[in-house]
Amino acid sequence: MLHLDHLDLSLPDFSLTADWQVPDCARVAIIGPSGAGKSTLLNAIAGFVVPTAGRIRWDGQDLAPLSPGDRPVSILFQDQNLFPHLTLTQNIGLGLSSRLRLTAQDQANIARALDRVGLSGLGQRRPAQLSGGQQGRAALARALLRARPLLLLDEPFAALGPALKSEMLDLVAAVADETGATVLMVTHDPDDAQRFADQTVLLADGLALAPVATRDLFANPPQALRDYLG
Amino acid sequence: MASRTRPLNLWAAVTAAALGCLTLGTAVVVARQSGSLIPLPADWAAVRFTLLQAALSALISCVLAIPVARALARRCFAGRSLLITLMGAPFLLPTIVAVLGLLAIFGRAGAVNDLVAWVGLPRLSIYGLHGVVLAHVFLNLPLAVRMILLGWQGIPAERFRLAASLGLTPAAMTRHLELPMLRAVLPGAALVIFVLCLTSFAVALTLGGGPRATTVELAIYQALRFDYDPARAASLALMQFTLCALAAAAGWAVAREGGFGAGLDRPAPITAPGGWRRIADAAAITLAAAFLLIPLAAIVYRGVPGVVDLPTGLPQAMARSVAVALASTLLTGVAALTLALAVAARTKGATLFEAAAMLPLAASGLVLGTGLFLLVRPFARPEDLALPVTVLVNATLALPFVYRLLMPQARALHANYDRLAQSLGLSGWHRLAWVTLPRLSRPLGFGLGVAAALSMGDLGVITLFAGERGVTLPLLVHRLMGSYRMEAAASAALILVCASFALFALFDWMGRRAAP
């Protein structure tokens, strides 16, 4: 279970606090105006931003001493999710072993993960030879194999068209089901939240509100959400 | 955004400390050992000559470079990109080879003097101020052309299109587009060349000398080698250090932009005027190419016949030079990469690391050499340490170039892929092998090639330390010239220049091949 315990990410010209928990296997959308700190919140959980105060716990364990690679986290960034000079197999393999000494078993697992995300037989391609959607799928294949219990999405599909994006969200849901992961997804699109997330965190006025059921939130939007939706 | 604070990078700190010791530490040693702090009249003469020749060299190089750069910027012709590539070559050309080539054309028995004698005038001497300036212009004109050409190519093509659509005359176009660019670019180009000429040693050693044409760098060498006067050498070195530090401080902002960038061979986007301007442009390009290429051709012409009967000791000198070049290249590469990665990652102390990487710009080979000479003298015979000291000094002097070549890519690498690498738990050697080296291999290969060629052709600190034996290839060329064996010197020079360019090409090729 993810627990943001009196978390404070404030800086001199920015403020964001959060104090809530997310149950296991939940799918949470994080919405709010730009500049509210959606990405900052994700980056703090992933270990790239140091909290001003408070704790981030996973199953009771404080994550503060853990480096980003040691946290129970897979994260998909807005872009640059793959190294352009490595093949897909190598890119995914780096998620398994940083020495890239891949056993036959690893190779088979990578091939299966590629099958699973619809990239059968493309293991030897470089990212530049793939479309944007395919690159997203490859990053998801790596998340699938790493099977970390927390999957963070920092708008990795923002550049895709609506049809492709909902396809990718379905794939994320499938991957999360298989690995039993909790998913936190930043989005600026209310449709994404309603389509994908059973719960939603609203960021407003320096506060990340506790997650509430997405359906209830949109059925009866608070003033901050009405302002955002316009 | 408050990023995770990064611990001090220990390797970068060690590298920076070593650089500090080598550049500032030797200066302290020199200062402590310097004799009277009141310079002799001869010392002031050396300072005056040093400043005069550097200023003249910078001025003439830049003035001559303007028409050449403009012609290259606006004309399309066969061999244009080859010529621009060749403009980068003199930077890697061993100075002693350039001098030998100039002697073949402008020397007492050179082609120009033959012509002068044929007309009936007295033969000209290349030795002295004009010889030193001639050699510096030969070596730096291409650098000036490339820097000014970058300025021309930096003017957006839309600006020229707009000017053309407004029907501006060529003179108006010059006033509104080209003069502002030149005002911005020329001071920097001149300053870079001024600094390079300030510490130039081999040119002064071969074409200067005597009370009227001795640079500070040369005076240090003479005080140490001929007068056996370490105290005087030390006070001269202190003066030279002060000069270089002042010039480097002035050039700090300017020198941060590399003089040789990529993207120089895109086609001319400028619509060029015809008429007499076309002829003037052709003349500028032809004259510049002739000035740069004929002395080199002379080396080949004179050197080739002697290659079948090479002077004794050449293979050994060659082996020593290659070993020195490879060792100093390895040292520079490791140090530059360590500092560039630490600065790009903005670790604690990054500002200090950046300053350390730039420190050698304020150093000169002979000042470093004098400091090391004074340091080792109580414990060992200098000639026993000639090669290790040369390796160390060459590695130090090449470091700013390699660092500057690496820096843009290192910053991009950090900005684009640091978080991904961290999130995958990639660190240490694995990160170096799988991410850093593949992403940086192009600038690294190019930078190491530059370092290797510079070290291979260097005739500086080795002259302070070398004894009868243990000579490097540039020193062998110099000694052959000193004993007037010009044919043998030309052959050795030909082999030296081939080896230098081969080393450069080898590293550059390896970098390209390793690049994804």
Report CB contact under 8 Å: B416, A68: no
Q: Provide the shortest C-alpha distance from residue A80 to chain B (in Å).
A: 6
The pLDDT of residue B265 is 42
Nearest to B4 among A50, A80, A94 (CB): A50
Question: Could you tell me what percent of chain B has a pLDDT over 90?
Answer: 45
- Return the minimum-mean-pLDDT range out of A54-58, B274-278, B377-381: B274-278
Residue B344's identity, in one-letter code, is A
Please say whether the beta carbons of B215 and B358 come within 8 A.
no
The pLDDT of residue B264 is 40
Report CB contact under 8 Å: B423, A99: no
Report how far residue B136's alpha carbon sits from residue A224's, in angstroms, rounded to the nearest whole number.
70
Nearest to A48 among B3, B424, B426 (CB): B3
The pLDDT of residue B175 is 84
Please say whether the beta carbons of A3 and A64 come within 8 A.
no
Nearest to A48 among B4, B417, B435 (CB): B4
- The answer, yes or no, to whether residue B351 has pLDDT greater than 60, is yes
Please say whether the beta carbons of B69 and B265 come within 8 A.
no
Q: How does DSSP classify residue A23? A: -
Residues of B in contact with A40 (CB under 8 A): 1
Report how far residue A100's alpha carbon sits from residue B511's, in angstroms, rounded to the nearest whole number.
22
**Average pLDDT of A139-145?**
93
**Average pLDDT of B1-9?**
54
Q: Provide the shortest C-alpha distance from residue B256 to chain A (in Å).
A: 29
CB-count exposure of residue B379 (10 Å: 0-12, 13-18, 19+): exposed
Residue-averaged pLDDT of chain B: 87
- The answer, yes or no, to whether residue B267 has pLDDT greater than 60, is no
Nearest to A68 among B2, B417, B423 (CB): B423
The pLDDT of residue B253 is 58
In the Cβ-directed half-sphere of A196, how many Cα atoms lie within 13 Å?
30
Per-residue pLDDT band for B304 (boundaries 50, 70, 90) equals confident
- The answer, yes or no, to whether residue B4 has pLDDT greater than 80, is no
Q: In chain B, which among 390-449 make CB contacts under 8 A with chain A?
A: 416-417, 419-420, 422-427, 430-431, 434-435, 438-439
B25 to chain A, any CB pair closer than 8 A? The answer is no
The pLDDT of residue B252 is 63
The pLDDT of residue B35 is 67
Residues ≥6 apart with Cβ < 8 Å to B412: none
* Burial profile B250-283: b = 16 or more Cβ within 10 angstroms, e = fewer: ebeebbeebbbeeebeeebebebeeeeeeeebee
Model pLDDT for residues B405-444, shown as the tens digit of each residue: 899 899 999 999 999 999 998 888 899 999 999 999 999 9
Q: How does DSSP classify residue B380? A: S
Residues of B in contact with A86 (CB under 8 A): 434, 438, 516
Per-residue pLDDT band for B502 (boundaries 50, 70, 90) equals very high
Please say whether the beta carbons of B386 and B319 come within 8 A.
no
The pLDDT of residue B7 is 60
Please say whether the beta carbons of B264 and B150 come within 8 A.
yes
Residue A110's identity, in one-letter code, is I
Model pLDDT for residues B49-105, shown as the tens digit of each residue: 999 999 999 999 999 999 999 998 888 888 888 888 888 888 889 999 999 999 989
Residue-averaged pLDDT of chain A: 92
Nearest to B420 among A70, A81, A98 (CB): A81
- The answer, yes or no, to whether residue A123 has pLDDT greater than 90, is yes
Q: Provide the shortest C-alpha distance from residue A192 to chain B (in Å).
A: 25
Report CB contact under 8 Å: A84, B516: yes
**Average pLDDT of A68-84?**
91
Report CB contact under 8 Å: B2, A52: yes
Model pLDDT for residues A28-64, shown as the tens digit of each residue: 999 998 888 999 999 999 999 999 999 999 999 999 9
Residues of A in contact with B434 (CB under 8 A): 83, 86, 90, 94, 98, 100
